[in-house]
Structure 1
Amino acid sequence: MPLLVMKFGGTSVATLDRIRRAAKRVGREVANGYDVIVIVSAMAGKTNELVGWVEETSKFFDAREYDAVVSSGENVTAGLMALTLQEMDVAARSWQGWQVPLRTTSAHSAARIVEIPTDNISGRFADGMQVAVVAGFQGVSPEGRITTLGRGGSDTTAVAFAAAFGAERCDIYTDVDGVYTTDPRISSKARKLDRIAFEEMLELASLGAKVLQTRSVELAMRYGVRVRVLSSFEDNDENAGTIVCAEEDIVESRPVSGVAYSRDEAKMTLMSVADRPGIAAAIFGPLADAGVNVDMIVQNISEEGRTDMTFSCPVGDVARAERAMNEAKERGEINFSGLVADTDVCKVSVVGIGMRSQSGVAAQMFRALRDEGINIKVITTSEIKISVLIDRKYMELAVQALHDTFGLDRAA
């Protein structure tokens, strides 16, 4: 039989009533002739509760036991989903990560998937099982310990199963009905996209869009997994939601497909560092060692052998960045006159595969921001993305202005 992967997020399985609603969707696909692998998250709020219990119990906790605790939320949902399907006379059973087994690295709380053998589940399908309900977000290390894949890991689990089993499609059920041109909470003109290319979705996910986890999009792009994002709270037909697919499956690409934003950004500037070979390595090496996620980087013009180095990072990384730079200065690896942190900025980006073949997008973007009196602090570009750092108070105005400028409220 053809195989379908269906993933239900935390809000989609937050209560027993919602689990029943999700189970009915699964039952319809079984009736349509599919074998189904269902990937479930923990019920909404449960993972945060479990994390809180761990942190309250042990300040310096063992990461292996942390994974054992926080993965239990998905186990509960998987069992409840399997029971609900059985009550509907659907042949279903639950699977924990170690039972598949979903093999991962040993990096507890941030494990990477190594392999998903298909023999166990495929054998059960051959014996008459119709639905395998798999606990998302978890796997098993080479040492035989439970591991977790990091927040949002159930999306990654779903796409990985779709790739391993050659699924016809991977449906991601969530609390939104698809991927929008921007956040509908900011712009009432935001429009749902019928299709979006893997690369565009990857950029939007990494730039702040919360619809799909970045790693799941990377996997989908690598293995050509067709992903559909749709709402678990609406009645969906075969054309519902947004298809995330290869670029060649999109008939015509407009220059910009979406506007993304990241609110919690900081701009940090090292004042008057030596402009010499290796200075960038001396700065960004310690930052990497400290786990600081650096994004934009700008080096000013050198004067008398000194220059300023500016970079952006998440607000939550500022203290670690300051400590890493001061320690590097104390070790004599770098020398600077001051370190200035601006924590009142945000990042706004436009994304579109059409930028490859159409010029003028940057000029159009910068004019739109100028017309609104918005000053740009830092600019970075890629083949399909332009990002700017601006004052946070202008974030919503910038998103709305760019959405209007590129006509994203209208279909291509």
Structure 2
Amino acid sequence: MAIIVQKFGGSSVATPERIMRVARRVVETKEAGNQVIVIVSAMGDSTDDLIALAKAITDKPQAREMDMLLATGEIVSISLLAMAIDKLGHGVVSLTGSQGGILTEEVHGKAKIMEVNPERIHAELDNGNIVIVAGFQGVTEAGEITTLGRGGSDTTAVAIAAAMQADVCEIFTDVDGIYTTDPRIVPKARKLSTITYDEMLELASLGAQVLHPRSVELGKEYGVPIHVRSSFNHNPGTLVQEVSDEMGKEQMEKELMVSGVAYDMNVAKIGLFDVPDKPGVAMIIFKALAEARVNVDMIIQSAMRDNRNDIAFTVVQDDLETAVKVVEDVQKQIGGGAVAFEDNVAKVSIVGAGMISRPGVAAKMFEVLANESINIQMIATSEIKVSCVVMATDAKRAVVAIHEAFGLEAGEAANNEGFAS
């Protein structure tokens, strides 16, 4: 008997009709002889509605009370889904994150999962029940309710799948799987049948919103196969896993020079001028940002002049105000110069496990952007990615041009060799 974890996002449970459809899907999986654990997000836009309610009371709600408030969204979803499954004649129990054994660090708003105690889940499955666990939330050792931040339900699902040693974690969304880029921008984007954890992690961290990076990290660490598929049909989706040499077509896809093009509009750029060029300065800057829980992405340091240099880096727009305040204080502390920022930027990236063994990939990307008269402001690379910061108004045009240049459209040959130079 297989253990299957199924996660349904907010759009999948946005209405009573959709909740009943999810219930039938879950029951179908149970009746096929599986033990089923379901992770559910809050209904539709209810999290945004709760945030708006809080802002109607105060501009600066306490982080603890925000977690208390936002956790109710998923509790509504799990209760209604349990009622729907009960109506279909199956034993079911709904559990909050705390009841489901989700233990987090003592941070409000974007806590990380420290461990999962699956004892209650095991007991309910042994009693023949379908188990529904609220996504996006957990509890500290002191009993405080916490939320996991953006993508928290994905992370909950993979964490529980790892703790339960589930056979697969199915992430149901409103798309059919992982595409070579956003099909809303490029209608001919091709769906991938498989993708490696590393490639998916890069795509997710670079703006692809189908899976949250933290869930992919957990999947890779614990070897949980993640199947991304549509909640509106039964079509095969995209399997995120390590790909072996014996897997035929999947191995061929792994060897694509570029597997996907991602873009991220939630980016801001910060520049620090006249930073003293001496040991320990960078540590002071980025330690202060880390202590403020600001995640820094791309970092560039200019050439030294007069024992000073400039440092630029990117953050998510939500962290921009905090980050600017932190680095302004640090600049005063270290005797640096001005601080500037720009939030009208975006990050465009190419990702592919095959890039590591093929020269000229970055040059091809830069050539495409040059041909489109798109200026590159920052560049970052790794073995399987190249990212460029451009003006936000140029981002979608860049995605279309890059996707076409690397031959990623549906119906084209499943390779993009020949671009190396």
The equivalent residue for 1:136 is 135
The equivalent residue for 1:172 is 171
- C-alpha contact 1:74 1:136 (8 A) present in aligned 2: yes
Out of 140-149 and 159-168, give the one that drifted further.
140-149
- C-alpha contact 1:172 1:227 (8 A) present in aligned 2: yes
Letter matched to residue 284 of structure 1: F
The equivalent residue for 2:272 is 270
Measure how far apart 1:50 and its partner are: 1.8
Residue 241 (structure 2) pairs with residue 245 (structure 1): yes
Out of 157-166 and 315-324, give the one that drifted further.
315-324
Supply the distance in 1 between the matched residues of 2:93 and 2:101 (Cα, whole angstroms): 15
Measure how far apart 1:341 and its partner are: 2.7
Measure how far apart 1:60 and its partner are: 4.2
Measure how far apart 1:290 and its partner are: 4.0
Relative to structure 1, is the Cα distance of residues 46 and 363 closer, same or farther in structure 2, using a 3 angstrom cutoff? same
Residue 101 (structure 2) pairs with residue 106 (structure 1): no
The equivalent residue for 1:37 is 37
Relative to structure 1, is the Cα distance of residues 303 and 121 closer, same or farther in structure 2, using a 3 angstrom cutoff? closer
Residue 87 (structure 2) pairs with residue 91 (structure 1): no
The equivalent residue for 2:301 is 299
Relative to structure 1, is the Cα distance of residues 169 and 329 closer, same or farther in structure 2, using a 3 angstrom cutoff? closer
The equivalent residue for 2:336 is 335
Measure how far apart 1:134 and its partner are: 1.3
The correspondence of residues 2-401 of structure 1 with structure 2, limited to 5 A, is: 2-129=2-129, 131-233=130-232, 235-237=233-235, 240-248=236-244, 250-252=250-252, 253-331=255-333, 333-336=334-337, 338-401=338-401
Where do 5+ consecutive residues of structure 2 fail to align? 416-421
Letter matched to residue 312 of structure 1: T
Measure how far apart 1:58 and its partner are: 4.3
Paired residue total: 406
Out of 67-76 and 214-223, give the one that drifted further.
67-76
Per-residue CA distance 1:226-272 (angstroms, 9 max, x = gap): 11111112x214xx111111133641220111111112333333333
**TM-score of the pair, normalised by structure 2:** 0.91
Per-residue CA distance 1:81-103 (angstroms, 9 max, x = gap): 11111111112121122223222
- C-alpha contact 1:267 1:341 (8 A) present in aligned 2: yes
**Secondary structure, in 3 states, of the residue corresponding to 2:133?**
strand
- C-alpha contact 2:275 2:331 (8 A) present in aligned 1: no
Where do 5+ consecutive residues of structure 1 fail to align? none
**Secondary structure, in 3 states, of the residue corresponding to 1:362?**
helix
Letter matched to residue 205 of structure 2: S
**Secondary structure, in 3 states, of the residue corresponding to 2:224?**
coil
Supply the distance in 1 between the matched residues of 2:321 and 2:96 (Cα, whole angstroms): 38
Per-residue CA distance 1:162-207 (angstroms, 9 max, x = gap): 1111111111111111111111122122111111111111111111
Seq. identity, %: 46
- C-alpha contact 1:279 1:334 (8 A) present in aligned 2: no
Relative to structure 1, is the Cα distance of residues 300 and 64 closer, same or farther in structure 2, using a 3 angstrom cutoff? closer
- C-alpha contact 2:7 2:171 (8 A) present in aligned 1: yes
Measure how far apart 1:312 and its partner are: 2.4
Supply the distance in 2 between the matched residues of 1:262 and 1:4 (Cα, whole angstroms): 32
Supply the distance in 2 between the matched residues of 1:107 and 1:267 (Cα, whole angstroms): 26
**Secondary structure, in 3 states, of the residue corresponding to 2:143?**
coil
- C-alpha contact 1:282 1:334 (8 A) present in aligned 2: no
Supply the distance in 1 between the matched residues of 2:322 and 2:67 (Cα, whole angstroms): 25
**TM-score of the pair, normalised by structure 1:** 0.93
Relative to structure 1, is the Cα distance of residues 228 and 366 closer, same or farther in structure 2, using a 3 angstrom cutoff? same
**Secondary structure, in 3 states, of the residue corresponding to 1:71?**
helix
Relative to structure 1, is the Cα distance of residues 307 and 112 closer, same or farther in structure 2, using a 3 angstrom cutoff? closer
Supply the distance in 2 between the matched residues of 1:267 and 1:126 (Cα, whole angstroms): 52
Supply the distance in 1 between the matched residues of 2:146 and 2:394 (Cα, whole angstroms): 41
Supply the distance in 2 between the matched residues of 1:320 and 1:106 (Cα, whole angstroms): 20
Relative to structure 1, is the Cα distance of residues 344 and 134 closer, same or farther in structure 2, using a 3 angstrom cutoff? closer
Measure how far apart 1:316 and its partner are: 4.1
**Secondary structure, in 3 states, of the residue corresponding to 1:97?**
coil
- C-alpha contact 2:93 2:124 (8 A) present in aligned 1: no
- C-alpha contact 2:274 2:309 (8 A) present in aligned 1: yes
